[in-house]
Structure 1
Amino acid sequence: MPAERPTIVATSGGLVRRDRGGVDWAGTVHLAAGLARVPVGRAPRLTYLGTAAGDQRSWAAEVHAAGERAGFRTTVLDLFPMPSVEDPAGQLLASDVVWVGGGSVANLLAVWRVHGLGEAFRAAWEAGVVLGGVSAGSICWFEGGTTDSFGPVLRPVTDGLGLLPYGNGVHYDSEARRRPLVHELVASGVLGETHCSDDGVGLVYRGTELVEAVTEVPGKGAYVVRRGPEGVVETRVEPRDLRG
């Protein structure tokens, strides 16, 4: 069964480091699998895209291992040097969850457009496949956000897929320039209303509505930044703790 409504889980999290090496999927990814309403007895089908980091094979191995430990049926969809499946759009539609890794959101968007994946992601989203990701894999679903894709000095990116009609600010508490740049971009109108996440926080959307924030890490927050008549206003959204 697909999600009840088009669903996106946009995060600054999703992975946790293991004590003896490697990574595990963290709470936001398990939440995405739950929102996909996978039938009892069937493993969630998760498709991972590492386009933003250049489809690193060593990282793909980590993703497969994390998926095995989580009980997911994992497919890594590479686009370098060519698509790793015959029908990328069909692979997205056949998934329960599509998760996009971090890296360069500018390069990710360019490569996806060459392969016509913008339309494919929209079709999957509208069909009830849960879309999600971290960092670049969060910003991509929005109209734009802040990025280091162009160099060490953060700059705006404004040509996201636009499934969600907002800006997106990731790593809001861990990189000093992120918050002030979001405020500057909203003040100037480069970005409209912008939704931001501290590290470890996810933003959950049904359709285009932000329905909740969730966190894998205590004390973290989410934020909505808007331009008002007297300047930029930032409102904290208290996240639900996924640890119970």
Structure 2
Amino acid sequence: MAADQPTILATSGGFRVGHRTDLEFHELVHHAVDLSGVHGRRPRLCHVGTASGDQRWWHANVTEAGQLAGWDVSHLNLFTMPPTDDLRGWVGEHDVVWVGGGSVANLLAVWEVHGLGDVLRAAWLDGVVLGGVSAGSICWFVGGATDSFGPELRVVTNGLGFLPYGNGVHYDSEARRRPAIHEAVASGVLPETHCTDDGAGLVYRGAELVEAVSERAGGGAYVVVRDNPSGTAQEEPLDVRRL
């Protein structure tokens, strides 16, 4: 079973502290599995931790979260080498690819070396749901604001571009994020940009934004566009469905 259309869930959330474990999957990751349409067997989730350097201790927590959810979780480690010569086939065996947070600049550089962009595009077109948090959200877009280079945010524009927009994450929890996005959109460095507060996610079918969702009681989502006559950024809130 695969999603009936190419599907991406781009978020600023997905994990929470567990009751008896360090980590549990929150509602956004469960929603990604729902979007895949899998039923009648254990869902297969591929976790990608490139942005944090494939930290094995973190992967152990993610594996444990998968056990609690009743899913099969595997990890696409690129350090020190990929798990197989057939990455396209290996990734395509999963229902969901979930990309973790960290440095989006480093993630994109490492993915380029291994040709992972083409692998993920093929999986997306074949119905594997692509999702992720923070760096794992920005990567699907043209680019966005990042602290990959230091505490003063910079804008990257070499994202995979499956979605022809900019992306803003942690919009409500990090004060520099909103002004950085507004400046980038106003100057034309980023195109129309879609943003999420912590706990919120954006669902895309193909390249079309179809829904904003949140695993929190709060958690907004926004579209920022350039007003051509004034050369300023204009922000509009989206309706958000609570999961």
TM-score range, shorter chain: over 0.9
Aligned counterparts of 1:50 and 1:215: Cα–Cα separation in 2? 23
Aligned counterparts of 2:180 and 2:62: Cα–Cα separation in 1? 32
Q: Which moved more, 1:140-149 or 1:227-236?
A: 227-236
Contact 1:99 1:131 in 2 (8 A): yes
Report the Cα offset of residue 20 of structure 1: 4.1
Aligned counterparts of 2:3 and 2:238: Cα–Cα separation in 1? 24
2:22 aligned residue: 22
Aligned counterparts of 1:2 and 1:83: Cα–Cα separation in 2? 24
Q: Which stretches in structure 1 are left out of the alignment for 5+ residues?
A: none
Contact 1:201 1:221 in 2 (8 A): yes
TM-score (norm 1): 0.97
2:109 aligned residue: 110
Contact 1:10 1:204 in 2 (8 A): yes
1:191 aligned residue: 190
| Cα-Cα RMSD | 0.9
2:152 aligned residue: 153
Q: Which stretches in structure 2 are left out of the alignment for 5+ residues?
A: none
Trace 1:115-126 onto structure 2 (pairs within 5 A). 115-126=114-125
1:46 aligned residue: 45
Does the alignment pair 1:56 with 2:55? yes
2:201 aligned residue: 202
Aligned counterparts of 2:20 and 2:95: Cα–Cα separation in 1? 30
Amino acid at match of 2:4: E
Report the Cα offset of residue 212 of structure 1: 0.5
- 1:165 alignment partner, SS class: coil
1:136 aligned residue: 135
2:210 aligned residue: 211
Q: Which moved more, 1:20-29 or 1:159-168?
A: 20-29
Amino acid at match of 2:59: A
Report the Cα offset of residue 44 of structure 1: 0.7
Relative to structure 1, the CA distance from residue 42 to residue 21 in structure 2 (aligned partners, 3 Å threshold; closer, same or farther) is closer
Show CA shifts across 1:61-119 (max 9, x none). Answer: 00100001111111111000111234222121111000000000000000011001111
Contact 1:77 1:85 in 2 (8 A): no
Count of residue correspondences? 241
1:68 aligned residue: 67
2:35 aligned residue: 35
Trace 1:159-198 onto structure 2 (pairs within 5 A). 159-198=158-197
2:238 aligned residue: 237
- 2:165 alignment partner, SS class: strand
Amino acid at match of 2:27: G
Show CA shifts across 1:211-235 (max 9, x none). Answer: 0110011122000000013321100
- 1:142 alignment partner, SS class: coil
Deviating 4+ runs (over 3 angstroms): none
Report the Cα offset of residue 8 of structure 1: 0.1
Contact 1:195 1:225 in 2 (8 A): yes
- 1:146 alignment partner, SS class: strand
